[in-house]
Structure 1
Amino acid sequence: MLNKLIIAVSLFLGLFAHAQVPVIKIDGSSTVFPITEAMAEEFQTAQKGKVRVTVGISGTGGGFKKFCRGEIDIQDASRPIQTSELEACRKAGIKFLEIPIAYDATAVIVGKKNTWLKSISVSDLKKMWEPAAQGKIMKWSDINPAWPKENMKLYGAGADSGTFDYFTEAVVGKSKSSRGDYTASEDDNTLVTGVANDQYAIGYIPLAYFEENKTKLNALAIIGGDKAPKKNEAVLPSRETVETGTYFPLSRPVFIYVSEASLKKTEIKDFVNFYLSNAAKIVPEVKYVPLPAKAYEIGKKHVKENKLGTVFGGHSEIGLKIEDLMKREGSL
C-alpha cells in the first residue's frame, strides 16, 4: 500500500512539474518552419527541459489569424503582415515586433525528364500563372511554340501560404492574383512529389525544399526583365545570387513576429535573443541564406528597445534590400 502511495505521489509530482514548464507557442509559415524548428530544438536542449517550444505549420495567413487572436506567442511569416491582418491585430489589441531572420528564395522547378527548359522569363511565368490564363493557356506551346504541344501540369503554394502571396505579387504584379486551375498545397513536399513525377509539370517552392530534392528536380534560371539588376540575364537561385539581389524578383526576407505581451515573459525574450544570436550558424544549416551580421544586431536592439510595428505598411515590396528595411521606422 505504501509503495502504491509513493508511486501515485511521484506520478502526481511528475505531472505537476511538467504542467509548470512554460510553453512557447509558435505557428505560421511552412517556409520559415525548418528554421524555427531547428532553433526550438537547440533552445530546448540549452534550457535542459525548463522550457517547451511547439512549432506548427498553418501557413503564413493561417498563422496570422491565430496570432491576431492572441492564441500564439510567435508567428513565422514568409511575407510581411498585410493590411487586413494589421486591422485584426489592432482590434484585438495585439501589438508586436517584426523581426527579419533570413533570406529565402522561391525556386521555379521542373522534373529531371524536362529536356526543353533551363530558364524562363518573368513575363512567361506571368502568362502561365495570371488569372487570365485559366482555361486558355493549357499547353506548353501556348507560351512558346518551340515547347511541347502537351498539357502543362501546374503546382504551387496554397492560398494561405506566404510563398503564394509573394510569388503572385512578384510575377503577376498583384498579391493573391493567380489562376485557380492548378494543384495547390501548403505542404511543399506534396509539390515536390507532383513535379518530380511528371515530365510536363512545373511549379514553385521555397529554395530550401529544392535544395533538399536536387536529385529529383531542376531549378530554372530566372530572367528578371528591365527591373532586375542583371536585366535580361538568366540567373539561377543560390546563396550568392540571393545575397546580392541578382536572383530577381523571387528572393525575399522572411520573418518572425513576436507578441509584445508574450515578450514580457522571460522565456520568450530569451528564445528570441537566442534565435537572433544563433541565426548566422543555424540558418545555413537548414539551407537558407543568413542576413548580414548587422541585421541580427539591429534585431536584438529592437527587442531591447521594444520597437513595435511593421516597416511595410500592410503590403509586400519586391527587391527591397535588408539593410534599408532595417533602418525604417516601424509604424503601429
Structure 2
Amino acid sequence: MVKAGAAPSAWGHCASLRACSGETCRGRRVSRCPAAAPGSRPRGGAASSPLPGSRSLTARQTRGIPVSSARRRIRRTPHLGKSVSIASLLETAKGQSMLTVRLLKLARPEAERAAEPSVMPAAFARPEDPQDRRTHTVWTGSAAALGILGLRRGSEVAPGPLMGAISGRHPERRVRVCADGDAFDLTFLAPDSVSWLWSQGDFALRADLEQAVLAAADRCVDHLVRTRPLVDGVEPGRGYAAALALHAVGTPQPWTQPPPPLLHVHAYLVGVLDAAGALRGPHYGELHEKTLTREGGAVGRAALANDLRDFGFTITSGTGPDACGFEVTGVPEALLQSGQAADKGCAGLGEETDRDPWDYIPRR
C-alpha cells in the first residue's frame, strides 16, 4: 500500500511537457520525465495554498489577494482576443462531464469526506515545500446567507459546521435555519492535463493551479444561483451559502494502487436566499434540469481556461471522447488516457447514482 503523505510514484513519469519545454513555465519549474534522466527518482505530489489571503491566482497581478478578489481582477483583465468565451464552450460542451450534481442524503459522512486529509493537496506536499499550514476548504456565498448559518465567507470549512449546514441547522445553536429542501454537491472536475501538470509543478505553480480550479468552481456556483430559478423553480436566488473543498485525488488512503492526480472541487450548496431573505434548499428539479450541468461546467471551464492562458499555457480545444473539451497543450496523450480510464472515486459521483465509493457506514 502507498503510505500517506507519499507522492504516488506513477506521477513521476508524466512530465515531458512541451508547453513548458520540459523545464519551466513562466519561471516555475516542471519536473522532467525520469525517462529522460536515468537514475533520477520519480517525483510527484502537491502542496497546498492558503485560503483566503492566498498566493496569487496570477503571480504578476494578484499576489496576496483572496480567491474571490483575484477572480474579479482576472475577469477585468483584457485577454486581447485570447479568452475562451462561455458561449463557445456551451456550443461544444455536449457530453462533457465538467459538472455533476448529487443530492446529499447523509450529513456526517459527506462532511467527513469534504475534509478527508488523504485526498487533499496538502497530503502530497514535498520536503522542499514551505511548511506553512494551508487550507483547501473555504466557505463562499453571500454574507446574508452565510450569516444565517453563523458562518463567514473565506473562513475554513470544518466537518462540524458543514454537517450542520447540510442538515439545514445552525452549527452552534443546532436549531433549523433552512426553511425547507435539501443540500447538494456540485462537483467541478478540472481537465486531466491540468491535474497532471499540477502533479509535476513546483510549489508556486501548484499553488496557482489550485487557486485557479477553486476560483472556477466558485464562479460556476455563483453563476447558477444568479441565473437559474433555484428558489421553488420560480426565481434565482438572492444569495447563497456553499462550502468549497478541493481534492487532489478521488480515493482516500489506503491505496492498493496509486490513483492518478484528479483535481476537483466539491461545492456543497447548502441553501439559497429567497425574496423574503429566508434560506431555502435549492430546487431539486432545476438542479437536475438537463442543461444546467452543461452550462455551469462551461462557465467554470471558461474561467479556468482563461486563467491558464494568463499563466502562459497554450490551450488545445476539441479534446475528449466527443471532441468537446480542452486540455493544456503538451501533456502526453498516454497520461490523459490513463486518467480517463481510472476510477474517479468521489469525483465521479453524479446524478445517475447514489453509490458511495468510500464505503461509509450510514450515520446521522
Of Structure 1 and Structure 2, which has the larger fraction of its residues in strand? 1
Structure with the greater alpha carbon radius of gyration? 1
TM-score, scaled relative to structure 2: 0.26
TM-score, scaled relative to structure 1: 0.28
